[in-house]
């Protein structure tokens, strides 16, 4: 059986202290500490939430933009409510041109940040700020700033 060592870059609370976690795991087994998948919604529950989201978007003068990689149900909801499905830059451009005062961004954190840069007067909402992009994380600001300084 092959084992791989993973060092996680976050802290796990123990009873006595916080400690960096390094685990051994079987790559064929489920990877801990990811939570279990949530129980899927039934059709009635899906319809309830679809209608609730549509109502709230309308009441709050909001529009939804969804990235290409989001679930098809989210994409469909964005289109049905006057939003769009696109890449990250086009999502921000669409939001800037749209009359809505609030933009609901279904994507990773930097997409919401880009939308805010292009629409500073608008309220930008995201389902979670914990959604990260490996490309974004792989470009530390200090290294990027040094690159820009070296290549004006």
| CATH number, domain containing residue 81 | 3.40.50.10800
CA dihedral 34, 39, 43, 47 (to 10 degrees): -60
Residue 35 domain-assigned (yes or no):
no
Task: Determine the pLDDT at residue 4.
Answer: 37
Task: Determine the pLDDT at residue 141.
Answer: 83
Round to whole Å and give the CA distance between 38 and 35.
Answer: 9
Q: How many domains does the chain have?
A: 1
* 57-72 residues labelled b (16+ CB within 10 A) or e (exposed): beeeebbbbbbeebee
Round to whole Å and give the CA distance between 123 and 125.
Answer: 7
Q: Tell me the residue range of the domain where 68 lies.
A: 54-135
Residue 10 domain-assigned (yes or no):
no
Residue 149 domain-assigned (yes or no):
no
Give the pLDDT means over successive 10-residue stretches in the chain (152 positions).
37 36 48 75 93 96 94 94 94 96 91 93 87 73 89 90
Residue 47 domain-assigned (yes or no):
no
Residue 67 domain-assigned (yes or no):
yes
User: How far lies 115's CA from each of 23, 68, 84, 122, in Å?
Assistant: 38, 16, 13, 9
Residue 152 domain-assigned (yes or no):
no
């Amino acid at each position: 059986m092959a084992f791989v060592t993973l060092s996680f870059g976050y802290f796990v609370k123990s009873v006595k202290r916080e400690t960096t976690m390094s685990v051994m795991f079987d790559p064929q087994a489920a990877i801990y500490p990811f939570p279990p998948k949530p129980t899927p919604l039934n059709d009635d529950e899906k319809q309830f939430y679809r209608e609730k989201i549509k109502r709230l978007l309308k009441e709050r003068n909001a529009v939804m933009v969804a990235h290409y990689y989001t679930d098809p149900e989210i994409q469909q909801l964005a289109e049905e409510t006057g939003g769009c499905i696109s890449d990250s830059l086009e999502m921000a451009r669409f939001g800037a041109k749209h009359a809505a005062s609030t933009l609901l961004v279904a994507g990773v954190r930097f997409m919401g940040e880009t939308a805010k840069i292009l629409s500073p007067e608008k309220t930008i909402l995201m389902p979670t700020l914990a959604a990260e992009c490996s490309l974004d994380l792989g470009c530390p600001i200090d290294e990027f700033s040094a690159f820009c300084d070296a290549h004006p």
